[in-house]
Structure 1
Amino acid sequence: MPTLLALDASSNACSAALMIHCDGRDEVLSRFALAPREHTRRLMPMVDELLAEAGIELCQLDALAYGRGPGSFTGLRIAAGVAQGLAFGADKPLLGVSTLAALALAAHRRYHLRYVMPALDARMGELYVGAYRCRDGELESLAEDAVLPPERLILPKGYEDTDWVGVGSGWALWESMPATVQAGISQCFNELAPAAEDMVRLATRQFAAGEGRQPHLVQPVYLRDQVAWQKGR
């Protein structure tokens, strides 16, 4: 398992996580804080604390990762800038991790959920939303991550009769969603936010698949120009 550092600032939360191999097992060290408008001040101290706790230097990492979006425009740029700067300085590859996939993994790990629709409040009367099937810690995307008004939200085609669970801040807009969606969602966990501890797990798999890239080639994903809600292929 690689030694990998992940950062996230895509929402009101700010977080960092470090995957290490210790005493024959993989361990995730993490920091998380609800800190609106404090991401710039909080991220680097979190990184320093994690490296110190693990007793390693930045140069000993195999790769870095960050929450690429969708999410707060400002937060995504902050996390991207910090992660790119650290990756450049350490001459390490960088990976971008979907914030919606991280939310789905969080729900699966905490509550053992199988079919998860993560949604984030995108402001301007819209949602960032995805749909994932989760099993044994693995995710399968059943619909492309998209941005759309809550009134246009639908369940993934072919999975309308599935027992779905909603996670993330976007489900606070429940009253604006179609009745068909409300009928298909068994419960919601609005309080869950994207976190680096889930991103670092996803990033290790991406790294093993050879998806690490030069830092300047990894860019945030905003989704504002992508409005289709289609089943993933």
Structure 2
Amino acid sequence: MTQTVLLALDTSTEFCSAALLCAPADTSGQSSAEPRIWLRHEPTGAVSSTRLLPAIAELFDEAGLTLADCDAIAFGSGPGSFTGLRTATGVAQGLAFGLNVPVVPIGTLLICAESARLRDPSTTRVLAALDARMDEIYWADYAWDEAQHEWRTVQSASLDAPQRLVLPDVPFTLAGNAAAAFGARLPALAAARSVDSEALPHAGPLAYAALRALRAGRTVPADQAAPEYVRNKVAQTTAERMAGKAAKAEQAPQRPHDGATAQAPRDEARR
């Protein structure tokens, strides 16, 4: 193999993000030169699913490559928009099945950490925090291992109230949009060495993180690729809503109908 070709997809936010990375490799499988990368990162709101496949086709055309050249498909596995996560997972699975290549799931919070380090190579500790809506945040803590040339997970992806983040005991960068969303309610904002609100889920840093994961063998077969929601539930099912209404109805005080009330004295009078 003279090069590694990796397609990276992220639709965990309001952006449709895709990257095609082509990295030269030597006989040991390690990159001997800077990878080339082609990108699409467009605000699409809730319609990423309609834009993702055309964006992928455009990237391969620009690079002068075809899907058959692809060695792996990476995707942002979450947390993030439930619909968006399912979109990226489904497309990654479908392409990987067709090409018979592995899938590389990369957490969106780790993508934030990777983005912060790409923007500032001196970054070695990142508290990644994203607005999870419902007055909560998704967060994780990562430390850069220079010897391994890889991120080490100090705290895996979690869901908490803004004030419940566990702060690193060393200088750290606060990455993600939680600082902008919660301001002073986020204790990490005042404690951070630096704040990078632009370090967000994006197919570019995803591709670089996925390349290392691919070379380290951290891949899964297509049928095992799955989103990492972190928040297990955000809404009740129809059955749960109906059951809840029925339970409330049973607990409500029983009041006789007006007709029954009016009839009662006459019934008593007959006795």
What residue ranges of structure 2 are gaps of 5+ in the alignment?
A: 26-31, 233-271
More strand by share: 1
The reply to whether residue 127 of structure 1 matches residue 147 of structure 2 is no
Indicate if the aligned counterparts of 1:108 and 1:134 stay in contact, CA closer than 8 A: no
Q: Is the 8 A contact 1:105 1:134 kept in 2?
A: no
* Partner amino acid, structure 2, of 1:125: D
Count of aligned positions:
220
Tell me the residue number matched to 1:111: 120
CA distance in 1, matches of 2:93, 2:17: 16
Determine the C-alpha separation between the residues in 2 that align with 1:182 and 1:207: 34
Deviating runs (4+, > 6 A) in structure 1?
none
1:161-200 alignment runs, 5 A limit: 162-171=170-179, 172-178=181-187, 181-200=188-207
- What does the per-residue CA deviation read over 1:29-74, in whole Å, with 9 as the maximum and x for residues that have no partner? 2111122113112211110011111111112111101000011111
Give the SS at the match of 2:193.
strand
2:158 is aligned to 146
Matches of 1:213 and 1:222 in 2, distance apart? 18
Matched, 1:219 2:226: yes
Q: TM-score, normalised by structure 2?
A: 0.75
Q: In 1, distance between residues paired with 2:65 and 2:189?
A: 48
Which of the residues 80, 85, 88 maps onto 1:79? 88
Question: Quick check: which one's helix share is greater?
Answer: 2
Within 5 Å, which residues of 2 pair with 1:36-51?
36-51=45-60
Give identity over the alignment, percent: 37
* Structure 1 counterpart of 2:216, from 197, 200, 209: 209
| SS of residue paired to 2:46 | coil
8 A Cα contact 1:11 1:193, kept in partner: no
**Distance (whole Å) between structure 2 residues aligned to residue 202 and residue 182 of structure 1:** 26
In the alignment, the residues of structure 1 paired with residue 23 and residue 142 of structure 2 have an alpha-carbon distance, to the nearest angstrom, of: 28
Are the counterparts in 2 of residues 104 and 132 from structure 1 also a CA contact under 8 Å?
yes
- For the 8 Å contact 2:8–2:73, the answer to whether it is kept is yes
Secondary structure class of the residue paired with 1:123: coil
2:22 corresponding residue in structure 1: 20
Larger of the two Rg values belongs to structure: 2
SS at match of 1:3: strand
In structure 1, runs of 5+ residues without a counterpart are 226-233
Cα distance change, pair 84–190 in 1 and its aligned pair in 2 (3 A): same
What secondary structure does 1:11 align onto? Answer: coil
CA RMSD of aligned residues (A): 2.1
- 1:80 deviates by 0.7
Q: TM-score, normalised by structure 1?
A: 0.87
